[in-house]
Chain A
Amino acid sequence: MKVAISATGNDLNAFVDPRFGRCPFFILIDPENMEYEVIRNEASQSMGGAGIKAAQTVIKSGAGAVITGNMGPNAFAVLKAEGVKIYAGVSGKIKDVIQQFKEGKLKESESASVERHFGMRK
């Protein structure tokens, strides 16, 4: 199963980006052999709904799991609908995070780590 990680840069020395929707890159990695490809996150350029679009990008990449910092309920709902596993609230260097993932140390998120926010006004 391939894993998509929201990344601050385009290699394994980059960090997990705390933002899911507006991270610059996703690193799509196969933890078995550590082979990876870099996907540019076009959604980061959206005026709104970046998380929703990013979630669809991840789905199209064929990833079975996502590792990120924060994820709102919109993106969460889209990924869940496809059955993608979500590991939110993660930080650190991607290399190390993948290691933790392989060792089963990351905890799958039951719900969105942050509230829905885009367009939120009162």
Chain B
Amino acid sequence: MILSIASGKGGTGKTTVAVNLAISLEDVQLLDCDVEEPNANIFVKADLKRIETIYREVPDFDLEKCNLCGACADFCAYNAIAVTSKKLIFFPELCHSCGGCGLVCRENAIRWRRKEIGEIYRGCKDGIEIYQGKLKVGESIPIPVIRRMKELIDRSKNVIIDSPPGAGCPFIESVKGSDFCLLVTEPTPFGLYDLKIAVEVVRKLKVPFGVVVNKDGGGYKEVDLFCRSEGIPILLRIPHSEEIARLYSLGVPFSSQKRRWKEEFERLFESIEDLR
């Protein structure tokens, strides 16, 4: 089963849930798709090795042939090319690799080359096979890295995807195609508001989903009411606890210290299997 862990808002405990679930199960593949801020291995502590480099195609300009007409710069929707009266300057980090400049160039001055945009690391620790995607500094388009990470999925395993926060393209790319999505929220008006946005997106993707309420116990009932009225199952509640927060601050998954919680996460997984 492929299970993605997501949240509309950062800081709700997405990585906490992903990691605790991973250490509570057997035969796990954990994919950290939050390629801008890959934090899962702070908790898993596996020895990571780079296994792959991700590339994309960018134009290579033959300045002998180029007559500085400026057609490519005018066409580029991302302002990745500037043409002055003396020189053409290309800014590869802004390029989306759409291929448009090559089409509009009348001098046939554009060829293609590969540019490194990210890396994938792999490590194993206590039965968890962790993959970490990492976007290169200066790159702004994480999608190809996430896409490649997802090709490494071994469907015979319990696959857990730690998705990037927000509700934008990286979130969609990570969650797309999952068998189930767990949305992690906290019982505050902030948490609820961001949960509603995430719910809208996950519904559009037609991925079945449920909710984990983290830092529970403040007496705010609206998240529960919202889930009930929308028919969304709340599958786990993690109480607000100083002990859990302290363990988090040290980079320790709390269920590794508390037997009861390991069982809770096992049960969470079973209830997801039942729901499918």
Residue numbers of A with Cβ under 8 A of B are: 43, 46-50, 52-53, 55-56, 59, 74, 77-78, 81-83, 116, 118-122
Contact = CB atoms under 8 A, between A and B. Distances in A.
A49 B85 CA distance: 19
The 7 closest A-B pairs by CB, nearest first: A49-B79, A119-B140, A82-B84, A81-B87, A78-B82, A53-B79, A52-B79
B97 to A, nearest CB: 13
Interface of B: 36, 73, 78-80, 82-87, 89, 91, 93-94, 135, 137-140, 142
A122 B84 contact: no
A7 B257 CA distance: 59
Contacts of B140: 48, 118-121
B40 to A, nearest CB: 16
A83 to B, nearest CB: 8
B84 A49 contact: no
Nearest to A53: B79
Given A121-B139, A122-B36, A52 B91 contact: yes
> For the complex, would chain B's binding face be called helix, strand, loop or mixed by DSSP majority?
loop
7 contacts: A56-B82, A59-B85, A77-B89, A82-B85, A118-B94, A119-B138, A120-B93
Interface centre among B79, B87, B137 (most CB of A within 10 A): B79
Given A43-B79, A46-B79, A81 B94 contact: no
A70 B2 CA distance: 47
Contacts of B84: 56, 59, 78, 81-82
A100 to B, nearest CB: 28
A50 to B, nearest CB: 7
A122 B36 CA distance: 6
Contacts of B91: 49, 52, 74
A83 B85 CA distance: 10
B36 to A, nearest CB: 5
B135 A55 contact: no
Contact of A49 (B80, B135, B137): B80
A120 B136 CA distance: 10
A8 to B, nearest CB: 22
Contacts of A52: 79-80, 82, 91, 94
Interface centre among B135, B140, B142 (most CB of A within 10 A): B140
A49 B135 CA distance: 19
A48 B86 contact: no
Contacts of A56: 73, 82-84
A82 B91 CA distance: 17
